[in-house]
Each structure stands twice: as structure tokens, then as C-alpha cells.
Amino acid sequence: MRQFFFSIILLGLIASCKDELNTPRPRAYPRVEYPTHELQEFTNSNCPFTFQYPKYAEVKMKEDHPCWFDLSMPAFKARIHCSYLPVKDRADFDDMIKDTYTIAAKINEKSNFMEDARIRNENGVGGLQFKFTGPAASPLQFLLTDTTQHFFKASLYFEAKVNPDSLAPIVEFVEEDVNKMIQSFAWKKSAGK
């Protein structure tokens, strides 16, 4: 009788086995749908500059600063935080540059590599661009200035855990639009000039 029950249980186990092996699926990231690289003009009466930015981004002005805003990119759960400050004097400008390098050094502590380069566009606007590889809080930052009156800074942030491998294609896509933003950036002409 025991052998009979054992045989039935064994047959049941064999019958329940399938031909294919059940293995867990490998971890994958959701597919990203990339929008087109269409641009639109940024103009704001509070801001002494204009530039082109991607149509898939939304401008979200900060209430406590007249010319601080985010270019929100919901499709990527990302934003480019933009801030403008007027330059009062040489010491003020030096402090802004020092702060920029201090922030870059803090981000570089977590990243694998930091590359900084001077930039200048067709409108004569110059500045610095920082690129970080590895698990950096912000993979891309830049500043644009005329060194005497204007200082504009922008930083790309993601609203997700920093995973450089999965974010790399998105960073590359956004970087193309950031470069267009830099190339189209211009200071507004003052009424007195």
C-alpha cells in the first residue's frame, strides 16, 4: 500500500513537470520612447537672455526667484535646473565661479570622472561645461557668462536612482538638446546699449 501511494505521488510530480525550465527573467529597464528634437524659443521678461529648448520640456518658474526655473522633462523623469544671477562686481563673479567648482568637486566625489571644457557659441557667449561619468548626481552642468553683468548656470538631474548604465542613452539624447540650448543662447540687448 505504501508503495502504491509513493508511486502515485511520484507520477504526480513527474506529470507536473514541464519540458521547459522555469527561470526568472533577467532584469530589464523599461523601454524609453524618445521624442523628436524639435526646439522652441525661451523668452521671459524677467530674464535678460533667450535660448532654444526642446518642445518635450516644460518651463516651470520658481516663485522665490524671478529668473530661476526648471526645464522639466516628464518623459525622462528629468529636469534641467536653470538659475540666473546678475554679476555685481569682480569679487561677486569670482564667488560664483568658486561655488560652481565647489559643487562640481562634490559631484565628482561620487562620479568616476569629470571633464570640464570651455565653451563659446556663435553669439559670443562663453562659459564652462562639466560632464560627469559614473554614479554622479548630475551628469551634465554648464555655466554661461559675460563675466561683468550676467551669470547663468544649468544642471541636469534625474528623479530616479543614479544608474549610469541605464541613464547613459537618455543623457546622450538630452545632451544633444543641451548643446543646442548653449549654441542658441544670447543675452538680450539693454535699452541703453
Tell me what the mean pLDDT of segment 5-11 comes to. Answer: 71
| pLDDT value of position 18 | 60
| pLDDT value of position 57 | 96
Q: Mean pLDDT over all residues of the chain?
A: 88
Q: Tell which wins on pLDDT, 43 or 20.
A: 43
Beta bridge partners of 117: 129
| pLDDT value of position 192 | 43
Mind listing the pLDDT tens digit for each residue in 112-169? 899 999 999 999 999 999 999 988 889 999 999 999 999 999 999 998 777 777 888 8
Q: Is pLDDT above 80 for 185?
A: yes
Of 142, 141, 153, 41, residue with least CA distance to 86: 153
CA distance 157 to 6: 62
What are the grid coordinates assigned to 183, written together?
A: 549654441
Q: Tell which wins on pLDDT, 178 or 33.
A: 178
DSSP annotation of 152 reads E
Q: Is pLDDT above 70 for 22?
A: no
Of 118, 169, 102, 97, residue with least CA distance to 139: 169
CA distance 171 to 165: 10
Q: Contact 104/172 with Cβ under 8 angstroms? A: no
CATH tag for 45-187 (out of 3.40.50.300, 3.40.1000.10, 3.40.605.10, 3.90.1170.50): 3.40.1000.10
Residue 64: its H or E element:
none
| pLDDT value of position 120 | 95
Tell me what the mean pLDDT of segment 92-115 comes to. Answer: 92
Q: Contact 3/9 with Cβ under 8 angstroms? A: no
Q: Is pLDDT above 60 for 7?
A: yes
pLDDT band at 21 (very low <50, low <70, confident <90, very high): low
pTM for this model (two decimals): 0.80
Of 157, 143, 177, 167, residue with least CA distance to 56: 177
- Which residues are CB-neighbours of 9 under 8 A, at least 6 positions away? none
| pLDDT value of position 163 | 77
Euclidean distance between the first and the last CA atom of the chain, given in angstroms as a whole number: 106
Give the C-alpha distances (Å, rounded to integers) separating 64 from 61, 67, 83: 9, 9, 12
Q: Is pLDDT above 80 for 97?
A: yes
Instruction: Write down the domain spans for the chain.
Output: 45-187
pLDDT band at 25 (very low <50, low <70, confident <90, very high): low
pLDDT band at 193 (very low <50, low <70, confident <90, very high): very low
Q: Contact 57/41 with Cβ under 8 angstroms? A: no
Q: Is pLDDT above 60 for 190?
A: yes
Alpha helix stretches (DSSP H) within 52-147: 90-110
